[in-house]
Amino acid sequence: MARILLAEDDASLRGFLTRALERAGHQVVDCENGDDAIDALEHGPYDLLLTDIVMPGADGIEVARVAAARQPGLRILFITGFADVALSAAQASPQAKVLSKPVHLRDLVNEVDRMIAA
């Protein structure tokens, strides 16, 4: 079981992701924006940060930067619906993975499991 910090501003998608990851046996701390995710880092450590990139307040790249500084070695998985933003995320955090929306829940859970196992 992994402890996952999830930052996603779309309430429906956040709920779907949280339920899918919890059904897969993970503990999920979910946040509705980047600022809340940065605050939630105080309640770590986490095994994985799963974050949307485009959100109100701090964007996912900023959340990842702060998270990596506070918890070196944290695995990071970005999700985004914007191809050009995905490229920026990959350049900003070369160790991170990027999944494009729409993402199938099974694919997301499989990628999370692969990253946790690595």
pLDDT digits (tens, 9 = 90+) for 44-80: 899 999 999 989 899 998 999 999 999 999 999 998 8
Supply the pTM of this predicted model.
0.90
Which residue's structure tokens are 């959100």? 55
For residue 87 the two structure tokens come to 């490229």
**pLDDT averaged over the chain?**
89
Task: Tell me the Cα Rg of the chain.
Answer: 12
Alpha-carbon distances, residue 89 vs 5, 26, 65, 80, 93 (angstroms)? 18, 25, 10, 10, 6
Per-residue pLDDT for 118 more than 70? yes
Cis (ω within 30 of 0) for the bond into 102?
A: yes
